[in-house]
Amino acid sequence: MPNGASRRAFLQDTNGDAVYVVAEGEVVLNRYRILRIGNRSVEFEEISSGRAGTASLVED
């Protein structure tokens, strides 16, 4: 990855209706902060509770 470029991930809601392009540090739906985007997963934090979670990335 070139210097200064940030990793991005494409996240889809459970209904498949919306796709969100996110970068590390961004907030999604005013509820989740993206902490880290890896090769196979995205780590996030629920802002209101501070709880952390991990979502697996799937290639389409």
Instruction: pLDDT band for 2, please (50, 70, 90 cuts).
Output: low
Task: Give CA separation, 3 vs 29, 31, 43, 57, in Å.
Answer: 29, 29, 22, 24
Phi and psi dihedrals of 35, rounded to 5?
Answer: -90, -45
DSSP-assigned beta bridge partners for residue 37:
42
**Number of compact structural domains in the chain:** 1
The whole model's pTM is what? 0.82
Residue 1 lies in a domain: no
| Contact present, 27 and 44 (Cβ < 8 Å) | no
Question: What range does the domain containing 27 cover?
Answer: 8-56
- In tens, the pLDDT along 4-60 reads 668 999 998 888 889 999 999 999 999 999 999 999 999 999 999 999 999 999 876
Residue 44 lies in a domain: yes
Q: How far apart are alpha carbons 5 and 31 in whole angstroms?
A: 25
